Structure 1
Amino acid sequence: MRGPLLRVENLTKHYPLGAGLLKKTIPVVRAVEDVSFSVEAGETLCIVGESGCGKSTVARLLMRLVEPTAGRVLIEGTDIAGLKKHALRGFRRRMQMVFQDPYSSLNPRLTAGQIITEPVENFERLKRRRRQALAADLLRKVGLSPEMMHRLPSELSGGQRQRLGIARALALEPSLIIADEAVSALDVSVQAQILNLLMNLQEQMGIAFIFISHDLRVVEHIGHRVAVMYLGRIVELAPCKTLFAKPVHPYTEALLAAAPVPDPTRVRLEAPVKGEVPSPINPPSGCAFHPRCPLAVERCRTEIPPLVPMADGRLVACHVRAPAAEILTEPAAAVTSSVAHLARLSDPAVSHRTTEI
């Protein structure tokens, strides 16, 4: 296959707010603003950022669950953002999603076997024996017993329900799976099992993942590249190892400094920024991060910084840091320490990925 599996160009989503009859302009929520990135086959791109930064909106836009205001979403060179319902249907098989809540995302009236085979039957009718064989095979693939195909979601644990959601996503043999906070509702030990499951499936099947999370230790464990979002825009995009070792954007530094450290003897680093995220209805002029940034200069208040390439292969949107390339390393130590704790809970056969990326 030539080119990336997924290419996103200038993706934008505005939600208009209600306005009275006498108002000439309608205010909008700028949920996603001019987002661009690509994903190769077999790659995991992680998207991180504070709540409300637009991570989940990006996921819904990629799946065409909501319509974009502007921009393009290209799957293997075809722009699906403008496809009509019938033409889009064929691309539904190539993209699937694993949702954050493993219970509310499953139909409580269907058995596990029916949940797995339902997506396939939207495209083709299966005989009873084939349905059972497909459900049994996918349950084994995600580490569950085929006997569970007759159980309802309420009869499964949280980890089992999330595995069931992954099995449902695999049923159509997709090229891309979007996992939106797929492990945030699970215990730490179950998180490690699910992460190792996703990584093993990726190695076996060559699936690409877009992994959305606010947990940086999980991101460092599973990701190949990381996109950091702030107020609807990507402010830094870099290989996972590069970003965690040497963050460049001040907001990336703040995220790494705020990561909890599972070591009672280690002093937690103070986050270098303070304050709340501005409203997406009335974002600041220039760089949206400048009201909270300790390095902000006058140019930051008036000009939106573009994503520019750095010598080490990353992209950074910062007027101060990008030209100077002044890279700080100290805040990354907090995340490096915490990810080691997660790796100890992981399967030794795959936990090496954290150091080999």
Structure 2
Amino acid sequence: MSRPLLKVENLTKHYPTAAGFLEKAAPVVRAVEDVSFSVEAGETLCIVGESGCGKSTIARLLMRLIDPTSGRVLIDGTDIAGLKKHELRAWRRRMQMVFQDPFSSLNPRLTAGQIITEPVENFERLSRKQRQALAADLLGKVGMSPELMNRLPSEMSGGQRQRLGIARALALQPAVIIADEAVSALDVSVQAQILNLLMDLQQQLGIAFIFISHDLSVVEHIGHRVAVMYLGRIVELSSCEALFAKPVHPYTEALIAAAPVPDPARVRVQAPLEGEVPSPIDPPRGCAFHPRCPLAVERCRLDVPPLVPLADGRLVACHVRAPAEGRPDHLGSVPESSLAVG
């Protein structure tokens, strides 16, 4: 069995805060807590969850824009989380990022051609002819005319700017691209074009995507597997098809039930969430979701549920739906639920 292209093991990020006058020790913000997953070449792993659950923090940790408190990030078997700055430089080419805002993520003083070739020139010298050829090729790959090479980002539409951001990410021929809410700032019609572009590029180049989004309709369209996060932890990791057909974790059920249904003839199965997301500075003991969970039992208030495998291969962290001490065949006992019933 071949090893995964990217493997994340027990990734944790805590941010220290200032101690209060009467506090003996400064509390910490538990942004990401013991997260593990893997991604194969040519696969799209989507990470979903409410705002503040740690999705974007994971993206920054994977890119080593911030250092983890603990855990490992392995690319081709090498742990980049522990590399020094000069050692990390060579691995920067293996992973690139497409940001949420296609305007603020681009240098407004550089032309499209310069934006695309700048990452490459950080590693190797290019002649003027090579720069032009590279920019023209990558603009063509993302569906833009090479004639736009000399335009500034301010002279482009939002969709064109995001295509430019994707072209820049492709310039170093990365194995993994992290897309952090890459279509959320775009019109719906443009979103579809960008999503189809990413899927076409994946098919052509074999790139792995980590796609971070709060829009479940986008995730259902582009994802192969989905990791559902709540308060810094993964609570369900499943194939996209299985997750939307039959969610297991109560939080996943509530997320899907809250998503808009475009067909007015379909009746939604309601699974409303009550209460607010707890503070990552003072998370609840046991399962962080138990104060809002309609299925919570006493054990949920005491012990953190581990991610355990079910019969269909998905991983779920829930004492009620996936007891850790039981055999991995509890999926059959899950009450029927779905996106909608007709």
Q: Normalized against structure 2, the TM-score is what?
A: 0.95
| Equivalence for 1:217 | 217
| Equivalence for 2:37 | 37
Letter in 2 for 1:322: A
Letter in 1 for 2:283: P
Give the paired residue count. Answer: 335
Determine which of 325, 328, 337 is the counterpart of 1:330. 337
Mapped partners of 1:62, 1:281: distance in 2:
23
| Equivalence for 2:327 | none
Matches within 5 A, 1:132-143: 132-143=132-143
Matches within 5 A, 1:118-137: 118-137=118-137
Mapped partners of 1:138, 1:267: distance in 2:
45
Deviations, residues 167-212 of structure 1 (Å, cap 9, x unaligned): 0000000000000000001111111100000000000000000000
Mapped partners of 1:183, 1:193: distance in 2:
10
Task: State the Cα distance separating 1:73 from its structure 2 match.
Answer: 0.3
Task: State the Cα distance separating 1:332 from its structure 2 match.
Answer: 2.2
Identity between Structure 1 and Structure 2 (%): 82
Mapped partners of 1:6, 1:173: distance in 2:
16
Letter in 2 for 1:140: G
Letter in 2 for 1:327: V
| Equivalence for 1:167 | 167
Matched, 1:83 2:90: no
| Equivalence for 2:70 | 70
Mapped partners of 2:336, 2:191: distance in 1:
28
Mapped partners of 2:255, 2:267: distance in 1:
16
Q: Normalized against structure 1, the TM-score is what?
A: 0.91
| Equivalence for 2:326 | none
> Can you give the 5+ residue segments of structure 2 that lack an aligned partner in the other structure?
324-329
Mapped partners of 2:297, 2:22: distance in 1:
39
| Equivalence for 1:103 | 103
| Equivalence for 1:350 | none
Letter in 2 for 1:207: I
Contact 1:258 1:269 in 2 (8 A): no
Mapped partners of 1:146, 1:305: distance in 2:
53
Task: State the Cα distance separating 1:21 from its structure 2 match.
Answer: 6.9
Mapped partners of 1:272, 1:261: distance in 2:
15
Matches within 5 A, 1:122-201: 122-201=122-201
Mapped partners of 1:318, 1:23: distance in 2:
33
Contact 2:41 2:175 in 1 (8 A): yes
Letter in 1 for 2:242: T
Mapped partners of 1:43, 1:261: distance in 2:
27
Aligned-residue RMSD, C-alpha: 1.4
Structure 1 residues 221, 328: closer, same or farther in 2, change over 3 A? farther
Contact 2:269 2:339 in 1 (8 A): no
Matches within 5 A, 1:291-306: 291-306=291-306
Deviations, residues 226-276 of structure 1 (Å, cap 9, x unaligned): 000000000000111011111000000000000001133444443332111
Counterpart secondary structure, 1:322: coil
Mapped partners of 1:48, 1:97: distance in 2:
17
| Equivalence for 1:276 | 276
| Equivalence for 1:311 | 311
Task: State the Cα distance separating 1:23 from its structure 2 match.
Answer: 3.7
> Can you give the 5+ residue segments of structure 1 that lack an aligned partner in the other structure?
338-357
